Each structure stands twice: as C-alpha cells, then as structure tokens.
Amino acid sequence: MKKDRGLSKGLGLLPAPQPSLNRRPKMIRAAARSLPRTLLGSAIVAVAVYAAFLKGSSISRLRLVRESLAGQSKASSASMAAGGSPTWESLAQVQRSLAEREAKLREREKALDEQEQRLSAIKQEIIQSLELMKALQREIEEKGRKLDEQQEKRIKELSKIFESAPPEKAGSIIAQTDLLTAAEIIMRIDKRKAGRIWGYVDPKLAAKITQHIAQQDAWKRGLPPSSSLTDEASGQGEAEKKE
C-alpha cells in the first residue's frame, strides 16, 4: 500500500500536503508585520496635516510639525528595531505629543503677539516724543529769531541816538555800557561819527571794545570765539550787576 501511495505521489495522482499557517513563507510574515507600520505612518501623517491646518497651515508651523513627526518617526523606528510593535496606544501617544506641541506653539505665538504689541507701543511713544521735541525746537528757534529781531531793532535805535548825540556825551555813555552792547552800537554808527566818539572814550576801554568788535566779526564768519574776551565780558556784566 505504501508503495502504491509513493508511486501515485510520484506520478502526481495525489495532492501535495498544504503548509500549515504556522509555517507560512517569510514574505507573507514580513508583509503582515509591515502592515501596522504602514497604518501607523498614514495615521501620523494625517494627524500632522490636521494639526498644521489648525494653525492656518503656515509654512513655519508645518515645518515645526514635520520636525515633530521626524522625532516621533525616529522614536518609533528605534522602538521597532528593539523588537516592539506599533499599537493604537502608540498612535494615541503620538497624537497627545502633537497636541502638546500645538499648545506650546499657540503659547509662543501669543507671547510673540504680546511682544509685538509692546514694541509697537514703544515705537509710537518714541515717535510722539520726537514730534514733541521737533515742535519745541521750532518754538525755541522762533522765539530766538524774535529776540534777535528785537535786539537788532534796539541796537539800531541806540545807534541812531549815539549818532545824533554830541561826541563827548556819547563817549561818556559808551563808558557805562557793557562791552558787547558797546561793540554792537559802534559797529552800526557811521565811521566818521564813531571816530569822533572814540576821542572821548578811555583808550583801554576803546581797546576792549575794538577786541569785541573783532570778536563779533569772527562770529559772523563762523570762527571760534575767544575765551578771554567772553570771560572778560561776562565778568564785567557780573560786576555791573553787583554795583
């Protein structure tokens, strides 16, 4: 009987025995093992895209999500290499991790918005301060211009008075006037009349007034003032105030 069965098997009359499920080929087992990984990768990508769209799908946020996915993928690969197998618990863990990162991104975005608002407020304050300073500068320049005009008008009036006054009288008044004012007056008086007045002015005082006239001319030409003349004029002014 055994010989007949062997002969029949050799002739192909009897069907060959089927392999059991416990001894299926390695390709089938590899495909079955890679299926959960494929599902896990698809689920991770879906969760990542969903998280990116929650924040407006901006490029920067999507990049952060991709970096997070890369970290999770490395962790999953390391776990699989160690012999673990992906489960729905690992998917839930990835989702929780993405949710935490999403919350952190929102906090960072809120902090950046607040910082931007503070910087904008500071910028507005600086702009307002600059505008105020410019307004004050214009006001000071306007007042200075008016004072210069008033001073010029007063000097011209005094010059006319000195021109019409007798030389001896004008000389005595010049002796009692501060050096800067005396220099301004002499500069505006006719040269011939000024020469007559000089005859009634003390030579030392006349020399000082001449120095101040030269100093005024240097100021008009943009040259640096002489400290000795300025100190002398201020000292004379203080002495006159004490008297």
Helix, strand, coil percent values for the chain (each to nearest 5): 85, 0, 15
For the chain, how many structural domains are there in total? 1
| pLDDT greater than 60 at residue 37 | no
Give the pLDDT of residue 178. Answer: 87
Backbone angles phi, psi at 176, to 5 degrees: -100, 0
> Is residue 203 one of the residues assigned to a domain?
yes
**pLDDT exceeds cutoff 60 at 3:** no
Indicate the pTM of the whole model. Answer: 0.40
Establish if 195 belongs to a structural domain: yes
Phi-psi region of 56 (alpha: psi -120 to 50; beta: other; left: phi over 0): left
Whether the per-residue pLDDT at 104 is higher than 50: the answer is yes
Which DSSP letter does residue 199 get? T
Would residue 233 count as lying in a domain?
Answer: no
Domain assignment present for residue 172? The answer is yes
Whether residue 238 is contained in a domain is answered as no
Average pLDDT over residues 112-128: 91
Q: Are 175 and 145 in contact (CB under 8 A)?
A: no
pLDDT in tens, 158-195: 888 888 889 899 888 888 888 888 888 888 888 888 88
Give the domain range for residue 185. Answer: 165-224
Query: Distance between terminal CA atoms of the chain?
Result: 156
For residues 46 and 220, which has the higher predicted lDDT (pLDDT)?
220
Task: Classify burial at 209, counting beta carbons within 10 Å of its beta carbon; exposed 0-12, middle 13-18, buried 19 or more.
Answer: buried
Ranges of beta strands (E only) in the chain are none
Euclidean distance between CA atoms 104 and 108, whole angstroms: 6
In a domain? residue 207: yes
* Residue 197: pLDDT over 60: yes
| 191 lies in some domain | yes
Question: d(Cα 77, Cα 12) in Å, to the nearest integer?
Answer: 48
The mean per-residue pLDDT over the stretch 68-95 comes to: 61
pLDDT at 133: 93
In a domain, 212, yes or no: yes
